[in-house]
Amino acid sequence: MKLFSTLFLSIGMAGAVCADKSTLDIPLKDIDGKKTNLGAHKGKVMLVVNVASKCGLTKQYKQLQAVHDKFAKKGFTVLGFPCNQFGKQEPGTSLEIKKFCTDNFSVTFPLHAKIEVNGDGAHPLYKKLKKESGGSDKIRWNFEKFLLDGSGKVIKRFSPQTKPDAPEVIAAIETALKK
């Protein structure tokens, strides 16, 4: 009986490990509703950001685009994930969000469908990013940033108030691009 219990427990644990998808394989939808995942950016350093159009930090879109432009040819991309969980500051539809970002900030980096980043409805990507980054298990506000390596592993987490072009963000991106 003990052997059976040990075997059952071992199989169960192996199943739990196997069920843990790679960050690159977690299903996503882009802003146009097409299925995608971070695997589309495999090998690139990625800055994953929950974004909003009606936030005091919305001006960070301009800095996100500038950082994207600066490093895109070196194997880097910004990935925006609209979220309406903080003060209902992203109420728009995907079409409205895309138009806002294009018209106001000339955003060319990939935007994704609106998601939740906290609570029971949190998207699996954000559940994984929060777990891997350590620290808080909650996203504090719009424009929290996760820097990922080309295999989707979290390198560093930055607070919403940390500007995308802050020296510590730029240094972390440059270091990641050298690896």
Q: Let me know if residue 80 belongs to a domain.
A: yes
pLDDT at 4 over 50: no
In a domain, 17, yes or no: no
Q: What is the pLDDT of residues 106-132, one digit of tens each?
A: 999 999 999 999 999 999 999 999 999
CA distances from 140 to 50, 75, 111 (A): 10, 28, 20
Q: What is the pLDDT at residue 11?
A: 40
Structural domain includes residue 11: no
Domain that holds residue 81: 23-178
Which residues 6+ apart lie within 8 Å of 28 measured at CB? 35, 36, 37, 38, 112, 113, 123, 125
73, 103 Cβ separation under 8 angstroms = no
Tokens 């970002």 belong to 101
Q: 134 pLDDT exceeds 90?
A: no
Q: Check residue 87 and give left, alpha or beta (phi > 0: left; psi -120 to 50: alpha).
A: left
Structure tokens at 147: 């820097």
Q: Name the domain count of the chain.
A: 1
CB 69 within 8 A of CB 175: no
Evaluate whether residue 33 is within a structural domain: yes
Q: Which entry of 18, 55, 83, 101 is annotated as an active-site residue?
A: 55
User: What CATH number has the domain bearing residue 154?
Assistant: 3.40.30.10
Catalytic, 55? Answer yes
In angstroms, the CA 63 to CA 78 distance is 11
pLDDT digits (tens, 9 = 90+) for 64-90: 999 999 999 999 999 999 999 999 999
pTM, to two decimals: 0.88
Residue 123 resides in a domain:
yes
118 domain-assigned: yes
> Mean pLDDT of all residues in the chain?
91
Q: Is residue 146 part of a domain?
A: yes
Task: Tell whether 1 is covered by a domain.
Answer: no
